[in-house]
Chain A
Amino acid sequence: MIKTTLFSLCTALVLSACSLEPVQPWDRDILAQQKMQLVADPLEIYLDEHTYFSKEASSGGQSVGGGGCGCN
């Protein structure tokens, strides 16, 4: 049930993107800022993912790769 709902929401989000007004390159000054990146501080995210990978059974989702660890 949860999976179906989430898949439906994701599909709706992707389809709704098609109807968005495109943002032109010259209007991307805000999106170009470092703080607006999906991963604004890669080292902080790397350290967080390593920490939680060693403490929880779930991992990933945002990216692939990154290497294994004997901690889990």
Chain B
Amino acid sequence: MQLKKTQQGPRNIRRQLAVATCSLLAGASHAGGLIASGDNWKIDSALLLYAEKDRVSLAEGILSISKEIDDDEFINARIVTDVLTGSSPNGAVPSNTAQTFTNPSGNSTYTEAANTTPLNHTFKDLRNALSVEWDTPLSRSLRGTIGGNISREYDYLSTGISASLAQDINQRNTTLTLGFSLNKDTWDPVGGVPVGFTVMPASPAKKAIDGASTDKTVKEILFGVTQIINRQTLMQVNYSRGQGSGYLTDPYKILSVLENDGSGNLRGTNPYIYENRPDQRTYQSLYWKGVHQFPNENVLNLSYRYFWDDWGIQSHTVDLRYRFDFDGGHYLQPHLRYYQQGAADFYRQTLTDGEETTLSYASADYRLGEFVTQTIGLKYGFEFKNGAEINFRAEMITQKGKDRSADAVGILQNQQLFPDNEAYLLQGGLSLDSDMVIKYIMHFFKK
């Protein structure tokens, strides 16, 4: 026993120093936290239950395994599965009469009651994703990380690679990070890829399509600086730029087309058309994060992001987590998040008859509108003496949007066009080492 302690001592110190160094590297890597525990695999798992009021419900499970395969060299693999059911706004506005829509397949219809947000009730999906990452030292002060990811839904395939370099300078108090990622995605939407601005025909007629599948490419680059401010404070500043090209439209979203008379009534024939977005998008962001530990050992984690793109969207995000540590390994962590977004230039809640022939692009997707998201949550965690951790969190997310007054004409002035949303999130997490799992299994079978 004593021998074991003696052997573990220097290794633990070295591992702690590795953690201190790697803390500066988390900026470019999406997986982050590639800290395996000694010779064992580190196993992190989480289950998320997410439910929107009268809309989407989701269960998402994650299993992440990490290992230090050589001195300061780490690998990580993450498996994600999520199951999603429920309803999602289809883009049409509420009306004072019931509205009937054609399902994406064109084989059936669904009807929404008067004065309710039209929802697509065929929203079901199963997503499986796998990502792997390898993080290795390239010299005494330079680290490299490469990774790959693939995810599959029944109508969407995403494949990607990422790479980053992290150069320590200033006695390893400053780390400069350069990251790059490339994603190639393929849409295979139900019923084919609708031609933008063509009508949603009444079933059983089929929509005009531009093939059965389509692609998009997303490239991102990130430059970051992480700085140790003092013994208790760490800061990070990132600038990132991304470019999407290809099919950036949502094949399931439509727009309501109104009569030209200002009445707010849907036009008599073919009142719904498929949305159409630009096939290029360049977006940028500036991101700042600070982590500070107070003398009472509580930790503040605060971040701010300013995001803008060439679609006219700008957003501000503030995220605050404050961890209160208690005796015996317990902690509580409140979480507040505030997100404010401006609308895309081509965001429209309605069009008027014939307007689709004069516009290049239009979308009624609420995610391109002007809105505010607020999140309030609380996490409880317990750290076992052997290093394992179990945690739970509950959060409430509210999303409130602003209607475009120019689109809310006539009878629509009495309707709420933006589909405000309320969602609840529950999450449980468990982290432990592989040797703990083996011990538990052995203990179980001994019984």
Which residues in A have some Cβ–Cβ distance to B below 8 Å?
A: 2-3, 6-7, 10, 13-14, 17-18, 20-25, 27-47, 50-52, 55-58, 60-72
Complex Cα–Cα for A68 and B63 (A): 18
Which residue of chain B is the closest to A37 with respect to CB atoms?
B23
Q: Which of B16, B227, B313, B427 contacts A32 (CB 8 A)?
A: B16
Interface membership of chain B positions 363-375, coded 1 if the CB is closer than 8 angstroms to chain A and 0 otherwise: 0000110000100
Segment at the interface with A among B203-211, B235-243, B257-265, B406-414 = B235-243
Once the chains are docked, how many angstroms separate the CA of A6 from the CA of B291?
Answer: 19
Interface residues of chain A: helix, strand, loop or mixed (majority): loop
| Chain A residues with CB under 8 A of B331 | 35
- Which of B44-52, B105-113, B267-275 binds A? B44-52
Q: How far is the CA of A10 from the CA of B429 in the complex (A)?
A: 35
Number of A-B contacts (CB under 8 A): 248
Are A67 and B183 touching (Cβ within 8 A)?
Answer: yes
List, in ascending order, chain A residues with CB within 8 A of B28's CB: 63-64
Report if B103 contacts A (CB, 8 A).
no
Which residue in chain A gives the minimum CB-CB distance to B129? A67
- Distance, CA A45 to CA B48, complexed state (A): 12
Residues in B whose Cβ lies below 8 Å from that of A27 = 231
Which 3 pairs, one residue from A and one from B, show the smallest C-beta to C-beta distance? A65-B162, A70-B156, A68-B158
Within 8 Å of chain A (Cβ to Cβ): is B332? Answer: no
The reply to whether B429 and A63 contact each other, CB–CB distance below 8 Å, is: no
Are B155 and A70 within 8 A (Cβ)? yes
Contact with A along B329-355 (1 / 0, CB 8 A): 001000000010100100000000000
Interface string of B15-39 (1 = CB under 8 A from A): 0110110010011111111010000
Q: How far is the CA of A34 from the CA of B317 in the complex (A)?
A: 24
Taking CB atoms, residues of chain B closer than 8 Å to A28 are: 16-17, 20, 228, 231
A31 to B230, CA, bound (A): 9
Tell me which of A3, A40, A50, A71 contacts B301 (CB under 8 A). A40
Q: How far is the CA of A51 from the CA of B181 in the complex (A)?
A: 20
Interface pairs (15), CB distance under 8 Å: A17-B174, A17-B225, A23-B230, A31-B20, A31-B234, A37-B23, A37-B291, A42-B33, A46-B78, A58-B285, A60-B220, A62-B289, A62-B305, A67-B149, A68-B185
- Report the bound CA distance from A45 to B373 in whole Å: 17
> Which listed residue (B45, B225, B313, B393) contacts A57, Cβ 8 A?
B313
Q: Does A62 contact B27, Cβ atoms closer than 8 Å?
A: yes
Asked if A65 and B30 sit within 8 Å, CB to CB, the answer is: yes
By a CB distance below 8 angstroms, the chain B residues around A7 are: 286
User: In the bound complex, do residue B156 and residue A24 qualify as a contact, i.e. CB atoms below 8 Å apart?
Assistant: no
Contacts of A64 in B (CB 8 A): 28, 30, 162, 164, 179-181, 220-222, 240
